[in-house]
Amino acid sequence: MGDDKSLMERVRVREQQAMAEIFDRYAGLVYSVALRVLKDSGHAEDVTQEIFFQLWRNPDSFSSARGALATWLLVVARNRAIDHLRQRKPGEPVDEVVVASATNVHSETERGIMMQRVRGIIGDLPQEQQRSLQMAFFDGLSHSEIAEKIGQPLGTVKTRIRSALTSLRKRLEQ
Amino acid sequence: MTDAQHIAQDDLALYALQALSQDESAAMREHLSECDVCQAELARFRGDLAMVALSVDRHPLPSGARERFAQRIGFGSQATKLGEPVPIYREFRSSRAGWVGWAVAAALLIVAAGLGFEVRSLRARLLDKDGRIASLEASESRAKQVDELLTAPTAQRIVLTAPKTPPTPSGRVVYLASRGELMLQANNLAGAPVGKAYELWVIPADGSAPIPAGLFRPDAAGNGSLVLPPIPQGIKAKAFGVTLEDAAGSKTPTEPILLAGSVPENGE
C-alpha cells in the first residue's frame, strides 16, 4: 500500500487498483461523517459513492496543495452531506476547497487517537458553544436559523461558533 | 462584514461552514478571490472543521458498498455481481388468469434457484470458517512457542544494527482477538524518564476509544515486552500504538505516538 500522494499519482494515470485502495482507506470515514449528518445509511452511501467517483473522474480536483487527502475528504464529506440534507446544489466546487491543518491524521492509529482528543476538547467547551457548533456543522443550519432557534442575537451566534473553532485549534496545537 | 482590508474572523468561520446566505457568501467570495490573507485564514478554519468531522462515531460501510464502487469505476470483474440482491419475484401483469399460475411457478423456480445458490454460498462460508479456525489454532500454537522463547530466563537477546547507524525503535505485536491475548516485543526504545512508562494501546476497528493494553519500561538495551496483559476478549483491532505516559498509566493516549502499526486487512 502506498502513501496518499503516490496513490493519487496512480489514480491520475487511471489505475483502478489505486482508486480502490483510496476507497478502502477513507470511505468508512467519509461515510461516517455523511451518516452523522444525514442519519440515513442509503443517502450517506450515495454521498460517499459520489465523492469518490468524482475524485476518480477528476483526480485533479484534489492536489496536495489543498491539504492532506484525509482532512480534505472530511471537509468535502461534511459539505456534500449538508448540500444533500438541504437538497441544494453543491455550495462550493470541491477543487476550491483548501484545508490547512497542522494535525497529522494519515494513519488509522493517528485518526483514532485524534478522534478521542477532539471529542474531549469539544466536550470541554461551554455548552452554548457546543450547541451552536453542532447546529451549524451537523444540522447545516445558517447563523440566522440558529439565532432564531436559540433566541440569541446573530452576533452572539457568530462569536460562539468562531470561539468554538479557535479554541479547538489552540488546544490541538498545544 | 469586512473591515477596511479583511473579512472578520466570525464571518470567515461561518463561510467555511457554508452557514451564510447566498448574498453574503457571494460578497465574501469576491473578496477571497483577491485576498491571500483571508484565503489562508479560511483554510485554517476548514482545518478546524475537518477535526470536528473526525470526532464522529465510526460506522462500517453498508454491505456491498465497496463492490458497487468497484463496479462503477470498472475495477475487478468479480466485483460486478456482489452486493446485488437476488431477484426472487418479478412483476407480472396479464389479462389472462392462466398466466398467473405460470408466473407463480416461474417465481418459485427463481426462489428455488436463489435458495440453491444460498446453500452453496453457506457451504463455502463454512469451509472458509474451518480453514480460519485451523489457521487460528496454528497461530496460537506458534504464539505459545514465541511466548516461551521470549520469557525463558536463559534466552539471550541480541540486537543487530548496521555499524554507525543509530538503531530505530520498533515493536512487534502478536494479537489473538478472540482470546484477548497479546504479546509485544519492542526494541531500541529510549529509556523512560523517571515517573514515566511506555503504554501500549489497542485501537479498535469499530472506532471506539483506544484501549490501554499494558505499561512497560525498557531495559538498559532498549528492549521491552508485554506478555499476555489483561485486555478484553473479542476486540477487533485496526491498529496498535505505543505512547509515553505517566508510570501509573493513562486513560487516553498522549501524543506523540512513538510506535504505530495497522492490522493487515486479512488479520484478525
Same-domain pairing of A62 and A139: no
Would you call B25 and A165 a contact, using CB atoms and an 8 Å cutoff?
Answer: no
Q: B47 and A49: CB-CB below 8 Å? A: no
Instruction: Round to whole Å and give the CA distance between A149 and A142.
Output: 11
**What is the number of domains present in chain A?**
2
Residues of B in contact with A103 (CB under 8 A): 47, 51
Q: Are residues A14 and A61 in the same domain?
A: yes
**pLDDT value at residue A75:** 94
User: For residue A4, what is the domain's CATH number?
Assistant: 1.10.1740.10
Percent of residues, chain B, with pLDDT higher than 70: 64
Tens-place pLDDT, residues B243-263: 999 988 998 899 888 999 888
Asked if the structure places residue B71 within a domain, the reply is: no
Q: Please tell me whether residue A88 adopts helix, strand or coil conformation.
A: coil
Domain boundary residue, one of A42, A66, A101? A101
Residues A75, A152: one domain? Answer: no
Q: Are residues A108 and A95 in the same domain?
A: no
Cell of B21: 446566505
In terms of domains, do A95 and A122 share one? no
pLDDT 10s digits, A46-62: 999 999 999 999 999 88
pLDDT in tens, B208-239: 889 999 999 998 888 888 888 888 888 999 99
Distance of residue A100 Cα from the nearest chain B Cα, in angstroms: 5
pLDDT tens digits, one per residue of A104-153: 777 888 888 889 899 999 999 999 999 999 999 999 999 999 999 999 99
Number of domains comprising chain B: 3
CATH of the domain at A123: 1.10.10.10
Q: What is the extent of the structural domain holding A51? A: 1-101
d(CA B112, nearest CA chain A) in Å: 29
pTM of full prediction above 0.95: no
Host domain of residue B27: 9-54
Burial of A111 (0-12, 13-18, 19+ CB in 10 A): buried
A137 and A84 in a single domain? The answer is no
Same domain, A87 and A30: yes
Quick check: is B162 in a domain? no
Nearest CA in chain B to A169: B48
pLDDT recorded at residue B80: 37
Residue type, B261: G
Residues A35 and A85 in one domain: yes
Instruction: Say if residue A3 is in the same domain as residue A86.
Output: yes
Which of A30, A48, A143, A167 is the best mutation test for B, with the most CBs of B within 10 A?
Answer: A143
What does the block give as the cell for A7?
496513490
The yes/no answer to whether this complex scores an ipTM above 0.90 is yes
In this structure, the answer to whether residues A34 and A75 fall within a common structural domain is yes
Q: Nearest-CA distance from A62 to chain B in Å?
A: 14
CB contact under 8 A, A165 and B48: yes
Which residue in the block uniquely carries the three cell numbers 516461551? B148
Does a structural domain hold residue B230?
yes
The last residue of one of the domains, among B127, B156, B185, is: B156
pLDDT 10s digit of each residue in chain B, 268 long?
555 589 999 999 999 998 888 888 888 888 998 899 999 999 999 999 999 999 999 999 999 999 999 999 988 744 433 333 333 333 333 334 445 555 555 666 665 555 655 655 565 566 556 556 655 666 666 666 666 666 666 666 666 666 666 678 889 888 888 888 888 889 889 989 988 999 999 999 888 889 999 999 998 888 888 888 888 888 999 999 999 999 889 988 998 889 998 888 764 4
